[in-house]
């Protein structure tokens, strides 16, 4: 009889984990795709990915290694990307542009990029109409935690996910045990901070054009190559499988996440309000959000610690997880 109860217990546990492997739940007015790995009894870690990136940008190794550190790791697709609700549909103008000859599409792309950056080469953050902002996106993640019955969690955000994580720490500090912000910024328009590199801007232009030509996979390769630092050169063959996973999860090239960033207040003046233990991780060769953005966070968040990755771009290389995961784990466990 004891063996029967043990078997039932094991099957129940397996069922629980399989149920949480991949789900879509209606939260905060939208459907959110999410999955969890690890024991729900362990401290929760919420991973938030960045702009135009679904949850599959987090490598399986990253998630597994973090859960192996005795954490309950939760990942989800932000609104407007992946398998979560696509709030923004493709505008009629974009649909029409796609039907035109290539030379006209190229002219359209050039016109867009002429107004995308200010005189200092930084992203032009002038207010634009937005269907949602970073606070709405923060509430998506917090609603997921509430759904799972988690009162507070360790928040780990990358790129725009790091911006969302800052908003959580500033506006909902009671929900945030620790903050880990990877390759991110207090605001693209923060005075004195650098804009993207010229090489990356050209890659953005080419990628945008390829997306309009409906060459989605080629566009993804162009961007990923441009984001990669010199320490671990871009490997096209190894990226093919990752690209398929990301595309299969869903990439909404018409999402309004960029507008959401622009519609949200710069956080620089509030960084001193962040009171929970904070870890900043940044690569020295980040071409999208240069390292001075990460150092600005380090210098202005009280007690913030840092992990600077030499020769690394806007990426989380699997080759460095033996350094990155223990650093994050120590940060979470001893705070």
Q: What percent of the chain has pLDDT over 70?
A: 93
Domain count along the chain: 1
Contacts with 73 (C-beta within 8 Å, 6 or more apart), sequence order = 36, 37, 38, 45, 47, 63, 66, 67
Predicted pLDDT at 118: 87
Q: Give the separation between CA 168 and CA 46, rounded to whole angstroms.
A: 11
Predicted pLDDT at 15: 36
Domain with 208, as residue range(s), is: 25-335
Residue 16 located in a structural domain: no
Q: Which two structure tokens, joined as six digits, stand for 32?
A: 């959110």
Burial of 145 (0-12, 13-18, 19+ CB in 10 A): buried
Residue 18 located in a structural domain: no
Asked if 24 contacts 83 with a C-beta cutoff of 8 angstroms, the reply is yes
**pTM (2 decimals)?**
0.92
Predicted pLDDT at 4: 39
Average pLDDT, the chain: 92
- For tokens 């600077």, what's the residue? 308
Checking if the pLDDT of 8 tops 50, the result is no
Residue 7 located in a structural domain: no
Q: Is the dihedral of CA 262, 263, 268, 271 positive or negative?
A: negative
Ranges 4-8, 190-194, 302-306: which has the least confidence = 4-8
Residue 6 located in a structural domain: no
Residue 3 located in a structural domain: no
Predicted pLDDT at 20: 58
Residues 40-69: tens digit of each pLDDT? 999 999 999 999 999 999 999 999 999 999
pLDDT band at 9 (very low <50, low <70, confident <90, very high): very low
Residue 40 located in a structural domain: yes
Residue 332 located in a structural domain: yes
Look up the CATH number of the domain holding residue 220. 3.40.50.1820
């Amino acid at each position: 009889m004891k063996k029967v109860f043990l078997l039932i217990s094991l099957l129940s546990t397996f069922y629980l984990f399989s149920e949480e492997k991949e789900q879509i739940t209606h939260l905060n007015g939208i459907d959110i795709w999410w999955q969890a790995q690890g024991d729900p009894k362990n401290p929760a870690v919420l991973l938030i990915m960045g702009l135009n990136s679904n949850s599959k940008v987090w490598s399986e190794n990253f998630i597994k290694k973090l859960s192996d550190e005795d954490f309950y790791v939760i990942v989800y697709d932000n609104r407007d990307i992946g398998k979560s609700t696509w709030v923004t549909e493709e505008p009629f103008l974009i649909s029409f542009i796609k039907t035109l000859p290539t030379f006209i599409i190229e002219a359209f792309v050039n016109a867009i990029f002429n107004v995308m950056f200010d005189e200092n080469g930084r992203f032009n953050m002038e207010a634009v109409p937005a269907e949602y902002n970073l606070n709405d996106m923060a509430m998506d993640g917090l609603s997921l935690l509430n759904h799972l019955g988690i009162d507070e969690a360790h928040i780990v955000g990358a790129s725009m996910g790091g911006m969302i994580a800052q908003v959580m720490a500033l506006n909902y500090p009671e929900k945030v045990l620790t903050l880990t912000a990877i390759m991110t910024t207090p605001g693209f328009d923060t005075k004195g901070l650098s804009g993207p590199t010229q090489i990356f801007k050209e890659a953005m232009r080419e990628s945008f054009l390829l997306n309009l030509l409906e060459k989605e996979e080629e566009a993804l390769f162009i961007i990923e190559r441009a984001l990669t630092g010199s320490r671990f050169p871009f490997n096209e063959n190894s990226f093919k499988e990752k690209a398929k996973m990301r595309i299969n999860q869903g990439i909404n090239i018409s999402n309004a996440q960029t507008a959401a960033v622009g519609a949200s207040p710069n956080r620089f003046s509030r960084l001193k309000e962040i009171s929970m233990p904070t870890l900043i991780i940044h690569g020295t060769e980040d071409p999208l959000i240069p390292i001075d953005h990460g150092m600005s966070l380090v210098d202005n968040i009280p007690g913030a610690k840092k992990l600077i990755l030499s020769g690394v771009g806007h990426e989380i290389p699997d080759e460095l997880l033996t350094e990155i995961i223990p650093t994050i784990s120590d940060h979470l466990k001893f705070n």
